[in-house]
Amino acid sequence: MQQIECQAVVLENQRLNEQTSILTLLAPVVATAARPGQFVNISCNHLLRRPLGIMDADPSTGQIKVGIRIVGDGTAWLASRQTGELISVLGPLGHGFELSKISRVITVGGGTGVFPLYFVQKWCYAQGVESIAVCGYRSKSESFLTDEYAVLSCQTLFASDSGDMDFAGNAGQALQSLLTDLPPQAGTVILTCGPKIMMQKIAEIARNSQLPCQVSLEERMACGIGICLVCACKIKAEAAGDSITHLRCCVEGPVFPAEVVEWSI
Ligand SMILES: Cc1cc2nc3c(=O)[nH]c(=O)nc-3n(C[C@H](O)[C@H](O)[C@H](O)COP(=O)(O)OP(=O)(O)OC[C@H]3O[C@@H](n4cnc5c(N)ncnc54)[C@H](O)[C@@H]3O)c2cc1C
Ligand code: FES
């Protein structure tokens, strides 16, 4: 897999609200190689880079986008970059979503998970694959990308905890409600990204509905390229006698089939 470090130019910093920004970066090699579900590891004001899912990649312009929620020092630094600045980007990294042999995609995103799933929806639009987007937010005022999703997705369902969007409740409840009325179709897959507790619920709903599900895990990371083992995540072991094994989220993931993820330990 091609992964490369480049000095990316900040083309735009779109501040969505106090805590959230979208950076548009000129990074042609990343833009050409990136696949939905992959991430970049971006240098910041700390020794360690910060991993961010690729929200969009356009090989024709050489641009990529990343959505950033400020949770600490590194993301605050990244979200305050200005047009024309250079930042070091390593990527594209990791194993993205498996998108072969599918006829219908349901993406379920919560919080910052809404960002990387936009890339999936864009891929579906380009490939002519039917797509449904379920996005969960705290409230309408904290929501983002709703217009952009509406353009790409065949159907959208925006849920908010505060009850001021399409569906009152969380993304899991919204998915459950959607599936109740959705006609079955062979080749349907559920792809999810967001808080771990949400993805665990989505995986359970998918299992009960007998639909395949892929989850994008967000472990703490350091190197992002498989060397340091900081990102080890618990996976159900295939070998008899072992209950769990560990895989590197940054290389074997971040996307895994839901059924192999060990949630409970
Ligand atoms: C594959 C991958 C894709 C990601 N994609 C995005 C994205 O598209 N947009 C986005 O805003 N964020 C994303 N993240 C999370 C982002 O990397 C972290 O929020 C960031 O590294 C925090 O850095 P910081 O210096 O601001 O905060 P820190 O000071 O390092 O941490 C602040 C708080 O955030 C928690 N935290 C830090 N990193 C993580 C993590 N990986 N998972 C859960 N909690 C964490 C810490 O425990 C601490 O409580 C992704 C993470 C991974 C692993
Ligand atoms: S972050 Fe270093 S091995 Fe995954």
Positions in the chain short of pLDDT 50: none
The two tokens of residue 44 are 């910041």
Q: Name which of 34, 30, 138 is nearest 88 in CA terms.
A: 30
The pLDDT tens digits for 193-218 are: 999 999 999 999 999 999 999 999 99
Neighbouring C-beta atoms of residue 76, cutoff 10 Å = 15
pLDDT of 117 reads 98
Amino acid at 30: V
DSSP string, 2-13: --EEEEEEEEEE
Cα-to-centroid distance, 51 and ligand 1 (Å): 7
Does the Cβ of 196 fall within 6 Å of ligand 1? no
Cα-to-centroid distance, 225 and ligand 1 (Å): 16
What is the reported pTM? 0.95
3-state SS assignment for residue 150: helix
HEC string for 67-85: EEECCCHHHHHHCCCCCCC
- Going from the C-alpha of 213 to that of each of 1, 21, 76, 136, 238, the distances in angstroms are 24, 29, 32, 18, 19
Cα-to-centroid distance, 224 and ligand 2 (Å): 5
Show Cβ contacts of residue 78 under 8 Å, excluding neighbours closer than 6 positions.
Answer: 21, 23, 42, 44, 50, 52, 68, 87
pLDDT of 241 reads 63
Best mutation site among 19, 22, 71 for ligand 1 pocket (most ligand atoms within 8 Å of CB): 71
Does the Cβ of 50 fall within 6 Å of ligand 1? yes
Nearest 5°: phi and psi at 176? -60, -45
Please state, in angstroms and rounded to a whole number, the distance separating the CA atoms of residues 122 and 125: 5
3-state SS assignment for residue 247: strand
Give the rounded percent of residues in the chain with a pLDDT score beyond 70. Answer: 97
**Does the bond joining 212 to the residue before it have cis omega, within 30 degrees of 0?**
no
pLDDT of 153 reads 85
Neighbouring C-beta atoms of residue 233, cutoff 10 Å = 20
Cα-to-centroid distance, 21 and ligand 2 (Å): 25
The two tokens of residue 1 are 């897999």
Residues listed for the chain: 265
pLDDT of 239 reads 58
